[in-house]
Amino acid sequence: MSKDNPENSGNSVNGIIDIIRFMSQTDLNELEVESQDFKLSLRRNERQETISNVVSVPASPVHVKENRPIQKAVVSSVPAAPEKKPEVEIYHKVVSPMVGTFYRAPSPVAPPYTKEGDKITAGQPVCIVEAMKLMNEIKSDVSGRVVKVIAENGQIVEKGSVLFLVDTTS
The per-residue pLDDT for 52 is 41
Question: Stretch 104-112: mean pLDDT, rounded?
Answer: 93
User: Domains of the chain by range and CATH?
Assistant: 6-76 (no CATH), 87-167 (2.40.50.100)
pLDDT tens string 122-170: 999 999 999 998 999 999 999 999 999 999 999 999 999 999 999 998 7
pLDDT at residue 98 is higher than 60: yes
pLDDT tens string 37-82: 667 777 766 544 444 444 444 444 544 444 444 444 444 444 555 5
The per-residue pLDDT for 57 is 47
pLDDT tens string 15-42: 777 777 776 667 667 777 676 666 777 7
Cα–Cα distance, 19 to 22 (Å, whole number)? 5
Question: Stretch 109-127: mean pLDDT, rounded?
Answer: 95
The number of C-alpha atoms within 13 Å of 39 and in the hemisphere containing its C-beta is 4
The per-residue pLDDT for 93 is 93
